[in-house]
């Protein structure tokens, strides 16, 4: 298994859907290329902001093929394979790897709440069967299931498990994950809370999987480069620059605001899948003001 370098700004890419809610693979390919051209260090598809929970397996495979082809090896492509059952996750994971994914992201099972021993066996079996780099995904606010630091420490030593994406928002938990990464070579912590991006880099996270980088990739790539160069004052300015976007994103259920903004920027994102709806006119006006703040030209 070749080593994958998970670092920097990895975009949690939205999934473009056409007006009939069908997958728009062509738009996904364009979007992935657009993001890579703007300097992001990885593409994370079929995650929470990618509406994975509203997609079937065939669509996830099609999306992966389109994005992998567009990226063409320039940065890693991380594809969401997490399902409620271990067997389903393995089956989908094998298909996504066959479609060209570099890494599999495996969110904890949702709706049901397995205990920590259940989670250990779940991830161990997946890593053993898919024979691919696996990144665990902790987002208990959505799944109701947290991967405790002690469990992560155990799993960090399992062949094939190369990291964890933490979107829990509890920085103490992320710090505990980072401590595990220091004693397990090749195990990376990927911050998944945009508000914690700079703090996470300073603490030792190798990457930030950032939804906001769909809209302002250059701002966040510069933040990371400033951090690497020791320009912490400039990196803090970059972190503060994210706040107007973060505030606007809260106006609707994700990823409605991001899709509307991208459409207005000329990057075809299409619509959200129902029951999530696109922004109402008053919110569209706020998105317009937000884009003006960043000096982003409207293409439509």
Using alpha carbons, select from 97, 92, 117 the residue that is nearest to residue 107.
Answer: 92
Condensed to tens digits (0 to 9), the pLDDT of residues 162-176 reads 999 999 999 999 999
Cα distance between residue 30 and residue 269, in whole Å: 10
The average confidence (pLDDT) of the chain is 97
Average of per-residue pLDDT across 210-232: 98
Residue 300 has pLDDT above 70, yes or no: no
pLDDT of residue 2: 62
Cβ(91)–Cβ(117) under 8 Å?
Answer: no
| Per-residue pLDDT at 245 exceeds 80 | yes
For the cut 80, the answer to whether the pLDDT of residue 298 exceeds it is: no
CA 218 to the chain's CA centroid: 17
Q: Give pLDDT tens digits for 132-153.
A: 999 999 999 999 999 999 999 9
- Residue % of the chain over a pLDDT of 90: 97
Q: Say if residue 122's pLDDT is above 90.
A: yes
Q: What angle do CA 186, 190, 192 make, to 5 degrees?
A: 165
Region of residue 246 (left: phi > 0; alpha: psi -120 to 50; beta: else)? alpha
Share of the chain above pLDDT 70, in %: 99
Tens of pLDDT, residues 247-257: 999 999 999 99
Could you tell me the residue ranges of all domains in the chain? 8-247
Per the residue annotation, which of 60, 146, 165, 222 is the catalytic one? Answer: 165
Task: Give the contacts of 150 (CB within 8 A, at least 6 positions apart).
Answer: 116
Distance from C-alpha of 137 to C-alpha of 157, rounded to nearest angstrom:
16
What's 8-247's CATH class? alpha beta
Contact indicator for 24, 13 with CB cutoff of 8 Å: no
The DSSP line for 70-94 is HHTTSS-EEEE---SSHHHHHHHHH
Does pLDDT of 55 surpass 90? Answer: yes
pLDDT single digits (tens) 22-48: 999 999 999 999 999 999 999 999 999
| pLDDT of 244 over the 70 cut | yes
pLDDT of residue 4: 86
Residue 137 annotated among the catalytic residues of the structure: yes
Distances (CA, A) of 268 to 16, 156, 280, 298: 7, 38, 18, 12
Residue 297 predicted with pLDDT over 80: no
If we measure between CA atoms, which residue out of 176, 155, 156 comes closest to residue 166?
176
Of 120, 123, 137, 224, catalytic: 137
Q: Is the pLDDT of residue 1 over 80?
A: no
d(CA 17, CA 194): 24
Q: Is the pLDDT of residue 259 over 80?
A: yes
247 among known catalytic residues: no
């Amino acid at each position: 298994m070749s080593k994958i370098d998970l670092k920097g700004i990895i975009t949690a890419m939205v999934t473009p859907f056409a007006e009939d809610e069908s997958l728009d693979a062509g738009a996904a390919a364009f979007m992935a290329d657009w993001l890579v051209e703007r300097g992001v260090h990885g593409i994370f598809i079929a995650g929470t902001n990618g509406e994975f929970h509203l997609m079937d397996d065939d669509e996830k495979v099609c999306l992966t093929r389109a994005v992998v082809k567009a990226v063409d090896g320039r940065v890693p492509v991380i594809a969401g394979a997490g399902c409620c059952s271990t067997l389903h996750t393995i089956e989908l994971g094998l298909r996504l790897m066959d479609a060209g994914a570099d890494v599999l992201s495996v969110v904890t099972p949702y709706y049901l709440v397995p205990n920590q021993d259940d989670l250990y066996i779940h991830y161990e079996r997946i890593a053993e069967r898919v024979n691919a780099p696996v990144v665990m995904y902790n987002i208990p606010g959505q799944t109701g299931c947290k991967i405790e630091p002690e469990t992560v420490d155990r799993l960090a030593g399992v062949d094939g498990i190369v990291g964890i994406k933490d979107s829990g928002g509890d920085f103490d938990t992320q710090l505990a994950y980072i401590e595990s990464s220091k004693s397990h070579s090749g195990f990376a912590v990927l911050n998944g809370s945009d508000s914690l991006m700079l703090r996470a880099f300073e603490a030792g996270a190798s990457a930030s999987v950032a939804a906001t980088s769909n809209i302002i990739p250059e701002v966040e790539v510069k933040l990371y480069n400033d951090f690497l160069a020791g320009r912490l004052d400039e990196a803090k300015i970059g972190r503060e620059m994210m706040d107007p976007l973060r505030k606007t994103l809260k106006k609707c259920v994700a990823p409605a605001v991001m899709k509307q903004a991208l459409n207005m920027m000329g990057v075809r994102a299409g619509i959200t899948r129902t029951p999530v709806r696109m922004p109402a006119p008053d919110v569209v006006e706020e998105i317009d003001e937000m884009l003006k703040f960043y000096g982003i030209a409207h293409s439509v």
